């Protein structure tokens, strides 16, 4: 294994597991500053995880093993999803491949496990969130697959390493399909990490929440797993965006730097967006994602119409 | 005599023996167990032929002299039939009980399995058509024996009417092919290839339950006893696809890209429509029947992609799409029959299968519930089970179509990709609902609270199918290259434990399973901390009550609202007010099946009108009938004279 591969592997684990909560925390801090508040420190998510790690879990009655299995399964599938995504176009072989469709499948598995846990407790709020999440996932998965199709065009492959190589040169931006994919990816990313205008991570108002709903019944280490998984989805989205959309030519160091730059850019963009944009009505979201999917089809047409390649 | 022939003969004889014994009055359980053993032997014969790659028995010919034989493709379908039939027969031995009705059903089951096996082994026109009709008729017999109410009679009538009107296409296609010697001879090409393809598409997709010819399927499947539903959904509706493969891939020359694109369009419509209407159902067996439409649609997507890729000159990818379709056929047979058998086990224990009136069965029936949950994960297309593996392969071939075809083809590939992505997400949505309402939460009826585990034979049947789902999810790479080699291009895929595509990444199933298991186990272990005493979930201070629990309609409401234009749900709220005080509120809602109300209802109304008009011909007078005969004779003579009859 070359040094670059080892470093990439270390960065995957460190970034996905350790940095991810910090990214979510930084967004919160930055957002508070933009809104003229002092806000929590960027390390607040770590403090919360430490607090939860020391607390005892709760068990509702009646329940089955599904309730206790779900947080571990969510965290495990999210962790494997983190390992699928290369740093730049370099990654060690963890034995789980680097396929983009597997990534989609693992995220779906986590969503399914949480929905089952919601049914297991029978809690009204948990099920409300789960039903909304599954409804949105129908539209999000369509748009996500179309974005992956657009990004797979230059490489002709859904292997993330090949896709990342094909998107490395700045010339990738000369194809209109790449622009379309970038716009569409940003919208899908908002849905996937549960951010405004699609979901509001700060609220626990039961009538509006989506992703927070199924977490309500959990406490202790179970809740820590779920909160880490929510933070790790930020990392997944940022790493995917900088691999597949942002230019990252040259050596591994340059690629890692591009990743850091991409992360900074996206954190700023998310904080700004959350400051200026209110949450959408739930039933408007399918229309938004649907129009993004149509945009992707236009992007595909432009690729085959010759485009500026 | 070849080893495969001995196995096949022994299997057929044992199944027939069990059937005849049942018909003659042997206990139905014994009769069904003998049938199960026969099915195992038949499956072994299929597996043997598939593995050896050598055909046994007769070869195809276009004549009418009866001939039977197996080649690897038939072997695969025979194996699929057997994988459903053996557990189904074992299961039925426990659920049917004893008595005249049970013996009749046992004999029907054996005959059905034999007719299914006969269809894949048929090697000439007459045998093919005979078994084709037999496998349509026997399920209706089983339904009529099992239930004698008006609903069953109506369902059976719709089933027979639709499959026979649509199935005429199958006759037209096969007769045209045989008339030109294309069964086992030279490809049928030229001007006839297009009409044959069209007739085959209509005829076989009607029987396979593809939309828009599907309307019989959600009526007929829920009526049958559980093991028959499993056989119908798992095995019967796959055989029209087998016939479609023979006609479109082997017996006729490619009539053009439109055939593959049409098949993809029909597949996309079926998988989306099937899963959407499944999501709106509130009865378990009817819901599962709609999912059969969805899964047959996924197989059709794969077959259509394979045809298009073949015509575009991409042999390796065409073989991959073909392997995806066959793998999904096998996978669907496994998990759908598992789910139907599970539904049968629940039905046996608690009666009606209204989703809102079940609940909590996983704790009462851990084996049945666990197997059912595995089947649900598999059909929802979630990693690491077998449904994900075959949907991954199908998606890869559709994405390849989307990235490399010309502008039009790539757009259809992208649309098919989008349809399959939506289908997978909707299926996950639907089975989150099913598992939640059936297995989890608090029991919503006293029967559910008092349910006990199913007997050993039923548990064995369901556990076997669940294990097969796991095995094909973990090691699909061992089977996929064999399936690809059966395709039109006979291209070789890289073999190994993982699924690998020619140029677009791979799916290391084994690594994924191990990683998921290890990480989940580790995290579970770490979370085993002292826990607070168990208490009911917080419901804003109210005591949890079954009638306040979430319902099937409630869970799917967000989607119903988002797709209100497409689904057009009907909703009625009637309030009864007395003296200014609301006394009662009656609420009802339903999602009408638009294919029935907009497409089938007008057609059947017109058909009934025409039938009423035609009834006037039946005067009952002998003289009138003699005049009809004379008129027909004169007409035929006139046509002969004019040279129209050749």
Total domain count for chain B?
2
Quick: pLDDT tens for B24-41.
888 888 888 888 988 999
Last residue of a domain, one of B443, B467, B492: B492
CA separation, residue A212 to residues A202, A305, B420, B567 (Å): 9, 43, 28, 29
Taking residues A273-288, what's their average pLDDT? 86
Arithmetic mean of pLDDT over chain A: 86
**Whether residue B11 has pLDDT greater than 90:** no
Same domain, B466 and B599: no
| Angular region, A268: left φ>0, alpha ψ -120 to 50, beta rest | alpha
- The A residues from 171 to 210 touching B (CB cutoff 8 Å) are none
Assign A226 a pLDDT band (cuts: 50, 70, 90). very high
Helix, strand or coil for residue B188? strand
The DSSP 8-state label assigned to residue B587 in this structure reads E
CB-CB contact of A149 with B414 (8 Å): yes
Averaged pLDDT of chain B:
88
Residues B476 and B614 in one domain: no
Say yes or no for a CB contact (<8 Å) between B537 and A222.
no
Start-to-end C-alpha separation, chain A? 35
ipTM: 0.94
- In this prediction, residues B102-106 reach a mean pLDDT of 87
Position B19 in a domain: no
Could you give phi then psi for residue B515, rounded to 5 degrees?
-60, -45
> Per residue in A46-58, pLDDT tens?
999 999 998 888 8
| pLDDT higher than threshold 60 for residue B248 | yes
Q: Say whether pLDDT at B158 is over 60.
A: yes
| Residues of chain B above pLDDT 70, percent | 99
pLDDT band at B646 (very low <50, low <70, confident <90, very high): low
Inter-chain contact A145–B519, Cβ cutoff 8 Å? Answer: no
Quick one: what percent of chain A has pLDDT higher than 90? Answer: 30
User: What's the pTM value of the predicted model, to 2 decimals?
Assistant: 0.93
Does some domain include residue B227?
no
Q: Could you give the CA distance from residue B29 to residue B89 in angstroms, rounded to a whole number?
A: 9
Task: Provide the domain limits for residue A51.
Answer: 3-304
Q: What pLDDT was estimated at residue B148?
A: 84
Nearest-Cα residue of chain A relative to residue B431: A112
Residue B309 domain flag: yes
What is the length of chain B?
646
To the nearest whole Å, the CA of B461 is away from the closest chain A CA by 24
Chain A (101-140) residues lying within 8 Å, Cβ to Cβ, of chain B: 101-102, 104-106, 108-109, 111-112, 115-116, 118-124, 127, 130-132, 134-135, 137-140
Tens-digit pLDDT profile for residues B196-237:
899 999 999 999 889 888 888 888 888 889 999 999 999 999
Q: How far apart are CA B275 and CA B287, in angstroms?
A: 9
Do B602 and B461 belong together in one domain?
no
Determine, for residues B399 and A112 on separate chains, whether the beta-carbon distance falls below 8 Å.
Answer: no
User: How many helices (DSSP H) and strands (DSSP E) are in chain B?
Assistant: 27, 6
User: What is the rounded distance in angstroms from the CA atom of residue B301 to the CA atom of residue B313?
Assistant: 18
Give a yes or no: residue B398 inside a domain. yes
Put simply, the answer to whether A105 touches B537 (Cβ < 8 Å) is no
Count of domains in chain A? 1
pLDDT confidence band for B528 (50 / 70 / 90): confident
Cα B535-B540-B544 angle, rounded to 5 deg: 55
In a domain, B295, yes or no: yes
Mutation test of the interface with chain B: which of A122, A155, A216, choosing the one with the most B Cβ atoms within 10 A?
A122
> Does residue A309 surpass a pLDDT of 60?
no
**CB within 8 Å: B363 and A64:** yes
**Residue A1 has what pLDDT?**
60
Long-range contacts of B417-420 (CB under 8 A, 24+ apart): B417/A145, B417/A146, B417/A149, B418/A142, B418/A145, B418/A146, B418/A293, B419/B268, B419/B271, B419/B272, B419/B301, B420/A145, B420/B268, B420/B271, B420/B298, B420/B301, B420/B391, B420/B394, B420/B395
User: pLDDT grade, residue B367 (50/70/90)?
Assistant: very high
Claim to verify: residue B482 and residue B617 sit in the same structural domain: no
Q: Does any domain span residue B572? A: no
Q: Are residues B605 and B458 in the same domain?
A: no
Q: Is residue A309 part of a domain?
A: no
User: Which among B411, B425, B549 has CB closest to A301?
Assistant: B411
Q: Give a yes or no: residue B74 inside a domain.
A: no
B383 vs A109, A132, A146: nearest CB = A109
Tell me which of B363, B527, B533 to substitute to probe the interface with A (most A C-beta atoms closer than 10 Å): B527
Which range scores top for mean pLDDT: B94-103, B303-312, B499-508? B303-312
Q: What is the Cα–Cα distance from B429 to A108, expressed in whole angstroms?
A: 10
Residue A308: pLDDT over 50: no
- Residue A170 falls within a domain, yes or no? yes
Q: Are residues B619 and B478 in the same domain?
A: no
Per-residue confidence at A306, pLDDT binned at 50, 70, 90?
low
Last residue in a domain, options B492, B527, B554:
B492
Q: Which residues of A fall within a CB distance of 8 Å from B395?
A: 101, 145
Say if A154 is an interface residue toward chain B (CB within 8 Å): no
Domain boundary at B459, B492, B525, which? B492
- Does residue B239 carry a pLDDT above 90? yes
- Judge contact between B493 and B481, C-beta under 8 A: yes
**Full domain range(s) for residue B637:** 594-642
Q: Among residues 221-250 of chain A, which lie with CB inside 8 Å of chain B?
A: 221-222, 225
Residue A177 lies in a domain: yes
B454 assigned to some structural domain? yes
Shared domain check, B469 and B605: no
Stretch A283-308: mean pLDDT: 83
């Amino acid at each position: 294994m070359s040094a670059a591969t080892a470093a990439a592997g270390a960065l995957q684990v460190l970034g996905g597991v350790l940095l991810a909560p910090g990214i979510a925390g930084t967004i919160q801090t930055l957002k508070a500053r933009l809104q003229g508040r002092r806000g929590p420190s960027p390390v607040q998510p770590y403090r919360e995880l430490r607090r939860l790690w020391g607390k005892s879990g709760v068990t509702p009655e009646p329940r089955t093993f599904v309730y206790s299995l779900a947080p571990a399964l969510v965290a495990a599938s999210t962790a494997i999803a983190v390992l699928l995504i290369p740093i730049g176009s370099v990654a060690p072989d963890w034995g789980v491949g680097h396929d983009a469709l597997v990534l989609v499948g693992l995220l779906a598995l986590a969503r399914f496990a949480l929905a089952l846990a919601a049914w297991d407790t029978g809690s009204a709020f948990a099920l409300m969130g789960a039903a909304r999440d599954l409804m949105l996932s129908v539209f999000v998965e369509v748009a996500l697959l179309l974005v992956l199709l657009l990004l797979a065009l230059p490489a002709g492959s859904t292997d993330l390493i090949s896709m990342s190589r094909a998107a490395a040169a700045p010339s990738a931006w000369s194809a209109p399909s790449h622009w379309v994919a970038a716009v569409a990816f940003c919208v899908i990313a908002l849905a996937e990490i549960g951010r405004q205008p699609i979901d509001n991570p700060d609220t626990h108002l039961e009538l509006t929440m989506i992703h927070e709903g199924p977490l309500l019944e959990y406490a202790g280490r179970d809740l820590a797993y779920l909160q880490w998984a929510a933070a790790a989805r930020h990392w997944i989205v940022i790493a995917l965006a900088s691999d597949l959309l942002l230019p990252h030519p040259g050596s591994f160091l340059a690629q890692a730097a591009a990743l850091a730059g991409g992360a900074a850019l996206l954190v700023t963009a998310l904080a700004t967006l959350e400051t200026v944009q209110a949450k959408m009505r739930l039933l408007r979201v399918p229309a938004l994602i649907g129009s993004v999917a149509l945009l992707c089809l236009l992007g595909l047409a432009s690729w085959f119409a010759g485009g500026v390649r | 005599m070849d080893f495969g022939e001995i196995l096949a003969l022994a299997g057929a004889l044992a199944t027939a023996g069990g059937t005849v014994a049942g018909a003659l009055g042997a206990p139905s359980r014994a009769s069904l167990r003998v049938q199960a053993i026969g099915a195992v032997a038949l499956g072994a014969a299929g597996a043997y032929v598939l593995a050896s790659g050598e055909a046994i028995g007769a070869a195809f010919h276009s004549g009418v002299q009866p001939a039977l034989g197996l080649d690897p493709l038939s072997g695969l379908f025979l194996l699929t039939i057997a994988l459903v039939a053996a557990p189904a027969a074992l299961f039925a031995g426990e659920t049917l009980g004893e008595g005249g009705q049970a013996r009749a059903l046992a004999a029907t089951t054996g005959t059905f399995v034999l007719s299914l096996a006969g269809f894949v082994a048929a090697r000439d026109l007459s045998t093919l058509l005979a078994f084709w009709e037999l496998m349509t008729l026997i399920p209706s017999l089983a339904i009529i024996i099992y239930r004698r109410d008006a609903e069953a009679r109506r369902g059976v009538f719709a089933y027979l009417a639709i499959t026979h009107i649509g199935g005429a296409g199958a006759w037209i296609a096969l007769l045209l092919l045989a008339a030109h010697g294309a069964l086992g001879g030279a490809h049928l090409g030229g001007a006839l290839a297009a009409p044959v393809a069209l007739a085959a598409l209509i005829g076989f997709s009607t029987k396979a339950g593809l939309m828009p010819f599907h309307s019989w399927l959600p009526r007929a499947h829920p009526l049958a006893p559980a093991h028959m539903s499993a056989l119908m959904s798992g095995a019967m509706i796959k055989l029209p696809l087998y016939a479609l493969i023979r006609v479109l891939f082997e017996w006729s020359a490619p009539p053009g890209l439109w055939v593959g694109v049409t098949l993809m369009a029909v597949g996309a419509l079926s998988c989306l429509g099937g899963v959407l209407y499944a999501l709106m159902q509130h009865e378990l067996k009817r819901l599962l029947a709609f999912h059969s439409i969805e899964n047959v649609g996924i197989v059709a997507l794969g077959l259509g992609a394979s045809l298009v890729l073949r015509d575009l000159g991409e042999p390796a990818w065409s073989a991959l799409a073909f392997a995806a379709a066959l793998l999904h056929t096998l996978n669907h047979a496994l998990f759908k029959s598992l789910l139907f058998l599970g539904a049968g086990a629940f039905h046996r224990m608690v009666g009606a299968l209204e989703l809102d009136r079940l609940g909590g069965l996983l704790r009462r029936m851990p084996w049945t519930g666990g197997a059912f949950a595995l089947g649900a994960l598999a059909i929802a297309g979630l990693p690491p089970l077998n449904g994900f593996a075959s949907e991954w392969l199908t998606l890869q071939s559709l994405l390849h179509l989307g990235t490399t075809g010309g502008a039009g083809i790539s757009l259809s590939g992208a649309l098919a990709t989008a349809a399959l992505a939506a289908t997978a997400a909707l299926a996950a949505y639907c089975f989150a609902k099913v598992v939640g309402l059936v297995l989890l939460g608090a029991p919503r009826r006293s029967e559910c609270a008092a349910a006990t585990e199913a007997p050993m034979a039923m548990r064995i049947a369901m556990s076997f199918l669940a294990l097969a789902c796991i095995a094909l999810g973990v090691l699909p790479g061992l089977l996929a290259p064999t399936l690809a080699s059966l395709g039109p291009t006979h291209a070789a895929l890289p073999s190994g434990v993982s699924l690998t595509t020619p140029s677009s990444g791979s799916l290391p199933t084994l690594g994924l399973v191990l990683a998921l298991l290890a990480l989940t186990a580790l995290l579970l272990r770490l979370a085993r901390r002292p826990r607070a005493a168990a208490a009911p979930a917080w419901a804003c201070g109210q005591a949890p009550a079954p009638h306040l629990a979430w319902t099937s309609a409630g869970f799917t409401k967000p989607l119903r609202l988002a797709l209100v234009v497409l689904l057009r749900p009907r909703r009625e709220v009637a309030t009864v007010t007395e003296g200014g005080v609301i006394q009662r509120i009656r609420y009802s809602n339903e999602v009408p099946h638009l294919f029935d109300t907009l497409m089938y209802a007008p057609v059947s109304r017109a058909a009934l009108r025409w039938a009423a008009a035609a009834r006037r011909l039946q005067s009952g007078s002998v003289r009138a009938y003699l005049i009809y005969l004379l008129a027909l004779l004169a007409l035929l003579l006139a046509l002969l004279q004019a040279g129209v009859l050749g």
